[in-house]
Chains A and B, each alone.
Chain A
Amino acid sequence: MDRLMKHTEENMRKKHALDEKHGIDKNPKAPRGPLAKSKSTNVSRGRKRRNESVIKLKPALDPDKLVSIQIPPTLKKQLVDDSEFITHLGKLVKLPRSPNVKDILKNYFDYRLKKCGSMADSVEEIMKGLCSYFDKALPVMLLYKTERQQYQEACPANVFPSAIYGAEHLLRLFVKLPELLFHASIEEETLIGLQAQLLDFLRFLQKNQSTFFLSTYHVAEDIKISSNK
């Protein structure tokens, strides 16, 4: 009513009269009848939708709106080998890694700084962004089940994963990156530029594949014994 009609005193009086007639409470926080337990206070929603607010559904991501990150074939193979080592052969990446994620991101920034000087601070922001995503995402979505115990042992609460883990886990972030970036709501034009920057970073990883990535993974038991010594 108040949205359809002009905001005049007379219309406001009509609104109040109607509100009173329909028993609409001015204070929506006060519990009323069967809706008291529902989070929703919007009475116009009707009975059918009463319980919807309780069930939290994962929002569906539109694939067309996700940034596409083309991981170079050799790095894709690295990811497949990584998966084989961990899920099929029961091996683990020995931690802490050197260079760690922070070192790698810093290396890339230094490399770009030499190339484009002061303009590199957009690169710096992207590197910091990747580091922030990595620290948050590692325990939530970048570990295989068999790596979880190792994470508990190697990564105490006051230490960031980017200081412990290396390129193997950083590369996994790129598989999840489109989903994460979706929530940053970056506009399309900027996203195209960002896509190019991320691809350049991946090429840098590819170029340094032999120094950044482990060639052999360790048997889980060996890691436990060596860390107990």
Chain B
Amino acid sequence: MLSSICSPSVRSCVSAKPSHQLFQSEIFLSSCNLCCDQHIKTQMSSGGRAGKPKEEEQDGMSVHSPCKPPPSSASSLPKEQSQVELEMRLLEALEIYPPMRLQGVHRHFVLYGLMEFLKRKFDRHFSSEEVLQLLDRFYNIEMLKTDDDEIDLLTQEEEFSLPQSYFVKEEP
């Protein structure tokens, strides 16, 4: 796998580690883009643990990395940085909202939670479509397994009843 191109020291740079195992190498790689980009390049150019085709090594980026290769001109650098920042914030959000909840009964509220989280961090509106596209770089959401069954609340049938407070007449 691609993760093999990075040394353990690079791995330790990754702060966001979603518990889900799916596509972890992609997550890890994209995280590397932020904090360890230079480190990866150094590792690769010095031989490191690479063993990957040369075309991948030329620009120091993996062809599987969610990020585009580094810009050739300095003018597009801020855009690249914001992209990386976006990915890091999303990974941060996924620590709060487990990706498996993107399937199952809570999926819409979890997506809403992610939209609001990013909105707060970047002070701009994020559409559900935009968040889903961003998530798509890390997860094949359709493949995720929900943990709905672990929530007893929605599996144990019970009769509806109003709380007692509803029947207490309020003093005029």
Q: At the interface, yes or no: A22 with Cβ under 8 Å from chain B? A: no
Across the interface, do B162 and A183 meet the contact criterion of CB distance under 8 Å? Answer: no
Evaluate whether A125 and B163 lie within 8 angstroms (CB atoms) in the complex, with A56-B152, A180-B153 already known.
no
Across the interface, do A126 and B108 meet the contact criterion of CB distance under 8 Å? Answer: yes
Q: Identify the closest chain B residue to A144 (Cβ).
A: B160
In the bound complex, how far is the Cα of B112 from the Cα of A73, in angstroms? Answer: 28
Which of the 9-residue segments A40-48, A116-124, A217-225 touches chain B?
A116-124
Interface size of B by CB at 8 A reads 37
Evaluate whether A184 and B110 lie within 8 angstroms (CB atoms) in the complex, with A83-B162, A141-B160 already known.
yes
- A-side interface mostly: helix
In the bound complex, how far is the Cα of B113 from the Cα of A18, in angstroms? Answer: 47
Report A125 CB to chain B, min CB distance, Å. Answer: 4
Across the interface, do B156 and A80 meet the contact criterion of CB distance under 8 Å? Answer: no
Q: At the interface, yes or no: B155 with Cβ under 8 Å from chain A? A: yes
Q: At the interface, yes or no: B128 with Cβ under 8 Å from chain A? A: yes
Q: Identify which of B98, B127, B156, B161 contacts A121 (C-beta below 8 A).
A: B127
Q: Identify which of A59, A73, A133, A141 contacts B105 (C-beta below 8 A).
A: A133
* Residues of chain A within 8 A of B152, CB atoms compared: 56, 58-59
Contacts of A193-223 to chain B: CB distance below 8 A: 193-194
**Residue from B96, B105, B158 whose CB has the most chain A CB atoms within 10 Å:** B105
Across the interface, do A129 and B113 meet the contact criterion of CB distance under 8 Å? Answer: no
Q: Identify the closest chain B residue to A80 (Cβ).
A: B166
Q: Identify which of B154, B161, B163 contacts A136 (C-beta below 8 A).
A: B154
Report A14 CB to chain B, min CB distance, Å. Answer: 23
* Residues of chain B within 8 A of A121, CB atoms compared: 115, 127-129
In the bound complex, how far is the Cα of B163 from the Cα of A113, in angstroms? Answer: 34
In the bound complex, how far is the Cα of B166 from the Cα of A181, in angstroms? Answer: 21
Residues of B within 8 A of A (CB): 96-98, 101, 105-113, 115-117, 120, 125, 127-129, 151-163, 166-167, 170
